[in-house]
């Protein structure tokens, strides 16, 4: 449902790591977006530039941030609302070549769509990831001083043991290291709320990513690494946070947020 009344007019935001938008378009992308029916759709890992495929989302304004490296990373936002301003990256040269962040400013809040770098196998990129996390936290904290912030996307971290199926066996794997989880905690401590966990603090099995290994998704052996976070002062305006595990087309599923205006 879009723009429904839940005590007030509600804005529906959706986020999805599509793991290659051109591939996802062939796997039910349009049908999935029609079902979710969001006012604003944020995508991560688009792996393309604007114009390389016919998206077919009528009525949406498009905003793209593609990586300098072809077929890699990238983010996009499709919005029925026209923002006050738009910006790309986080203002840090080390971090702004991979198309990982788009920020749209609306009257009442900033929307930050992010695809956080993966620390990779054997944690080869963990040191870079730590610098990224610090730089990103500084960036959104700066925005938060101006107006409330909503952060959505693939944050590449299962924050707590409840957010991953097999915690013990993944302790030193990318996305569940102590270092990454501590940086996630530091982001929350800077004045941000994990909206899904605030609403559903004890819900197990709420995952958004599954390995492509056979049977893993069917058995729900997954991780919750796709989020809607936001300024603490927005927490009371959140009507619901949703996960769509039955929508395929990617190794991630979409997530959504209902925000009362």
3-class state of residue 219 by DSSP: coil
Strand segments (E) across 7-159: 10-17, 40-44, 61-65, 75-79, 85-88, 101-105, 110-115, 149-154
The DSSP symbol for 82 reads: P
Q: Is 96 a catalytic residue?
A: no
Active-site entry in 39, 133, 144, 154: 154
**Segment holding 223, helix H or strand E:** strand 222-223
Residues 16/41, Cβ–Cβ less than 8 Å: yes
**Of 23, 71, 73, 65, nearest in space to 45 by CA:** 73
Active-site entry in 63, 110, 115, 196: 115
Q: Is 115 a catalytic residue?
A: yes
Task: Provide CB contacts within 8 A for 167, sequence distance 6+.
Answer: 161, 176
3-class state of residue 235 by DSSP: helix
Number of C-alpha atoms within 13 angstroms, CB side, residue 74? 21
Residues 180/131, Cβ–Cβ less than 8 Å: no
Class of residue 174 by CB neighbours under 10 A (exposed 0-12, middle 13-18, buried 19+): buried
Pairing of strands 209-210, 238-243: unpaired
Residues that are catalytic: 115, 154
């Amino acid at each position: 449902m879009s723009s429904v009344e839940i005590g007030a007019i509600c804005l529906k935001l959706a986020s999805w790591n599509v793991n290659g938008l051109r591939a996802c378009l062939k796997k039910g992308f349009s049908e999935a977006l029609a079902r979710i029916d969001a006012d604003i759709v944020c995508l991560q890992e688009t792996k393309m530039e604007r114009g390389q495929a016919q998206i077919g989302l009528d009525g949406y304004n498009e905003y793209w941030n593609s990586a300098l490296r072809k077929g890699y990373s990238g983010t996009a936002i499709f919005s029925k609302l026209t923002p006050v301003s738009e910006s790309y990256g986080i203002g840090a040269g080390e971090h702004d070549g991979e198309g990982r962040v788009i920020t749209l400013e609306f009257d009442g809040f900033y929307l930050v769509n992010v695809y956080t770098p993966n620390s990779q196998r054997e944690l080869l990129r963990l040191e870079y990831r730590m610098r990224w996390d610090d730089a990103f936290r500084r960036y959104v904290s700066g925005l938060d001083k101006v107006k409330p912030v909503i952060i959505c996307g693939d944050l590449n971290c299962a924050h707590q043991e409840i957010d991953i199926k097999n915690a013990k066996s993944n302790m030193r794997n990318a996305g569940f290291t102590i270092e990454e989880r501590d940086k996630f905690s530091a982001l929350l401590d800077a004045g941000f709320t994990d909206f899904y966990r605030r609403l559903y603090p004890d819900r197990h099995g709420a995952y958004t990513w599954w390995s492509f290994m056979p049977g893993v998704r069917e058995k729900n052996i997954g991780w919750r690494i796709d989020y809607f976070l936001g300024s603490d002062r927005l927490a009371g305006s959140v009507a619901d946070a949703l996960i769509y595990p039955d929508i395929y087309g990617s190794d991630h599923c979409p997530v959504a947020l209902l925000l009362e205006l």
